[in-house]
Chains A and B, each alone.
Chain A
Amino acid sequence: MINVLWFILIIAAFIVAACNGKVDLLTTAIFQAVEDSVNIVLKLIGPMSFWLGLMNVAQKSRLNEYIAEILKPIIKRLFPEIPEGDPASFAIIMNLTANILGLGNSATSLGIKAMQELDRLNNHSDKASPAMCTLLAINTSSITIIPSVIISLRAANGSSYPAAIIISTLFATGISTITALIFDRFFRVMKR
């Protein structure tokens, strides 16, 4: 799937660029992207190290097991295959919290931590487990309650009420998350 998708993006770009006589732009675009990816990874190292450090402290104090116990009902519903009281639940909860608060890089770091926990439960297979697909579905649909980045962008562009879009955003993000969860369940049953 991903191999085909990747190829389609590249070949479509090449064909369209050739038709428009813009092939020279492709090389520039490639090396711009190369540079961007280095910058993104560099920006991610800080928050990721910080959260992985803090999560290690939580793990050593067994706090994650207590929290997993408390949040059992939610986790059980969303991720039925995670064993009761497994530390993976804590990482997932932290990821969801960071998402809700709209903390971009922290949410990504904690999401990766959660994926690593799920990878352990999946015996480090190279095939995504259903739990991984569900976590990914929630993350790609975004569950932000406070779209802080966009609110500051609106304020910077002279909006008289930058937070006016909170309600509409909440509605749209809710619909997209519900859609993601419904299809996730659908495929989970279909492709078993």
Chain B
Amino acid sequence: MPEAIMLISSWCIPVIIIFILTFALLKKVKIYEQFTEGASQGIKTAIKIFPYLLAMLVAINIFRESGALDLMVRLIKPFTEKLNIPGEVLPLLFLRPLSGSGSLSYTAYLLKEYGADSYIGKLASTIQGSTETTFYIVAVYFGSIGIKKYRYAVTVGILADLAGFFAAAFICKLLFL
């Protein structure tokens, strides 16, 4: 089953590309010219995103390095231990929405330290795979179109991350413990 999904996944992108190009050619679109014209927007968009990304990453990185993250972990540890969530995976609760590379390297550390097939390893993998880096997405997506008033978007993203974390803890306890 997982192999079948992986196979579909590897075919999907090439098929989509061929389909779009063939369809356009049949419609007599000058595909090479239109492709390059569209692609020329790539760098412009990246430049537009950059300041937002910079602002977000600086704040997140000093928050992490200062030990503020560890402090939050220590504060909620007694509560989550009652729910059978190992303290080792707790940093992921805060790290996952803030930093994609940070949470990935922390997961890699847990896999190495406790083994990929251990309970902690499976739980960390599930958490890492099931949510996204909310703050990065918000900064980049809204930054690219100059949105200043975010309204409730950040709140929803954080609530979804929380739900994902506890759902991962629940299902892993059921399947793997």
Seen from chain A, the residues whose Cβ lies within 8 Å of a Cβ on chain B are: 1-2, 5-6, 9-10, 12-17, 20, 22, 25-26, 28-30, 32-34, 36-38, 40-42, 44-46, 48-50, 52-63, 97, 101-103, 106, 108-109, 111-112, 115-116, 118-119, 124, 126-128, 132-133, 135-137, 139-142, 144-150, 153-154, 157-169, 171-180, 183-184, 187, 191
Pick the most buried of A61, A139, A159, A191: most chain B CB atoms within 10 A of its CB: A61
- Give 18 pairs: A residue, B residue, CB < 8 Å, sorted on A: A1-B151, A2-B138, A2-B150, A124-B145, A132-B147, A137-B160, A140-B131, A144-B129, A153-B108, A160-B117, A168-B122, A168-B130, A168-B172, A172-B171, A173-B164, A178-B163, A183-B160, A187-B156
CB distance from A85 to the nearest CB of B (A): 17
Across the interface, do A10 and B59 meet the contact criterion of CB distance under 8 Å? Answer: yes
How many angstroms between the C-alpha atoms of A140 and B144 in the bound complex?
Answer: 16
Q: Could you tell me how many residues of chain B have their Cβ less than 8 Å away from some Cβ of chain A?
A: 99
Distance between B39 CB and nearest chain A CB, rounded to angstroms: 3
A140 touches B160 (CB 8 A): yes
B149 CB–A CB distance under 8 Å: yes
- A116 near B152 (CB under 8 angstroms)? no
- Contact of B42 with A45 in the complex, beta carbons under 8 Å: yes
Please name 13 further chain A to chain B contacts, defined as beta carbons within 8 Å, in addition to the given A127-B147, A144-B130, A150-B129, sorted by A numbering.
A34-B57, A37-B53, A45-B46, A97-B12, A124-B145, A132-B153, A136-B157, A150-B107, A153-B104, A153-B111, A157-B111, A171-B171, A172-B131
